[in-house]
Chains A and B, each alone.
Chain A
Amino acid sequence: MTINLERRSPVKLKGRPVKTGIREGRQIVSGYAGAGKGLHIVDLSHFSRWDIQDKRLSRIQPYGDMIPEKPGQIFMDKHLLMGRLNATQAVAWHFSELKPDMPQTQAFTDITDAAVALALTGPAVYDMAEKVCALDLADPLKTPPFLVQGPFSHVPCHLWVLDRTDSGGCLALTCSRGYAHDMVNSILEAGAEYNVTPEGEDIFRAWLGWGG
C-alpha cells in the first residue's frame, strides 16, 4: 500500500501565490502576485538540509571535499550550500528540485523537517536585519558567503550571509521549526518600513544565479 504523506511548511506567508507546485508532498510557491522590487521574504523550509557530524569531516564521502575547513566558511556549488559549524559539525543545504539521496551513514541526519528556513533578498536587507539582530552581518572584514551562528530576534539561528552589495543582498536563516510563526512576524514587522513582501523560491534562485 502506498502512503502519500502531505507535508506542510511551518511558514505561512500572506500573499496570493501565482506559481505553485507539489514537491515531495509539499506545496511549493515559486512566485507571488504583486511582489515588487523591494525587500522579499522567501520560505525555503522545503529544501533538504542535512546535519553532518564526524571527528574527521574531511573524510566523509562523497561530501568531504566540499566541507569548508574553518567554522563560518561556506562552500557554494550548483544548488548546494555547505556550511562549517565547528570542528566536528557541518550543514549541507540542497536547492535542487529533485531531493538528493542522503548517504546512509551515521554522520548524516536529515533535519529538513525540524527547522524553518527563510531568505531575505533585495535592498536594505542588512538595514532591516540590524533592527532585530545585534550581530554585525555587514562586517567589512568578512566577505560573503559566510555563516554566523547567533541570535536573530532573540532566537538561536544559523545566518547565511550569501550576498551583500551596495544595492542589497541575500540573507538566509534557519532556526528550530517551532519559532517559525514568531520569526516571520518579527521580520514582517521590522521590514514594514522597507515594504517587505512575500516571494517564491524563484527569486532566491535567481539572486544566487541558479536560474528560475
Chain B
Amino acid sequence: MAFTITCPVCGIRRGYEFRFGGEDKGPMPPEESLASETWCEYVHMNNCIAGIQKEWWFHRDGCGSWFTIYRDTTTNQQVENR
C-alpha cells in the first residue's frame, strides 16, 4: 500500500478511496471588480510545487468529506499538517 491518506472522519485509508481535488488556492478572489484575467489565473493556473503542497481531497468511497492535507509531491506521501 504505497499511498495512504488520513481522512478526518474515517482515519487512515488507501489512496484509492479518494479523489484528488486540486491544489488549495485559498479563498476565491472577491467578485467585485473581478478582472477576467484574475479569475482565469485563480481557476486554471497551478503552482505545481515539487515538494510539500496543500491540496484538497474527497473521500469518494467513504464518508464523502472534502478536506485538505499536505502532501510531498516528490515522494507521494502525506506529511504532517503545518
Query: Number of residues in A with C-beta < 8 Å to the partner?
Result: 10
Whether B9 lies near A156 (C-beta < 8 A) is: no
The DSSP consensus for interface residues of chain B is loop
Shortest beta-carbon distance from B4 to chain A in Å:
11
> Which residue of the partner chain A has the closest CB to B14?
A134
Docked pose: A149 CA to B13 CA in angstroms: 11
Is residue A86 contacting chain B, with contact meaning CB distance below 8 A? yes
- The segment from B26-34, B43-51, B60-68, B72-80 found at the interface with A is B60-68
A192, chain B: closest CB distance, angstroms: 25
- The answer to whether B14 touches A71 (Cβ under 8 A) is no
B17 and A150: CB pair below 8 A? yes
A-B contact count (CB 8 A): 30
Residues of B within 8 A of A150 (CB): 10, 13, 17, 61-62
Q: CA–CA, A148 to B64, complex, Å?
A: 13
- With A86-B65, A156-B60: A149-B14 Cβ-Cβ less than 8 Å: no
Cα A156 to Cα B14 in complex, Å, equals 13
Within 8 A of B (CB), among A147-170: 148-151, 156
Residue of A nearest to B65 (CB): A86
Residue in chain A with minimal CB distance to B10: A149
Q: Which residue from chain B places its CB closest to the CB of A71 in the assembled complex? A: B9
Contacts of B13 in A (CB 8 A): 150
Q: Would B61 and A148 count as touching, CB distance under 8 A?
A: no
Closest 9 A/B residue pairs (Cβ): A151-B61, A156-B61, A149-B63, A149-B62, A71-B9, A150-B62, A86-B9, A86-B63, A149-B10
A: residues with CB less than 8 A from B are 71-72, 85-86, 134, 148-151, 156
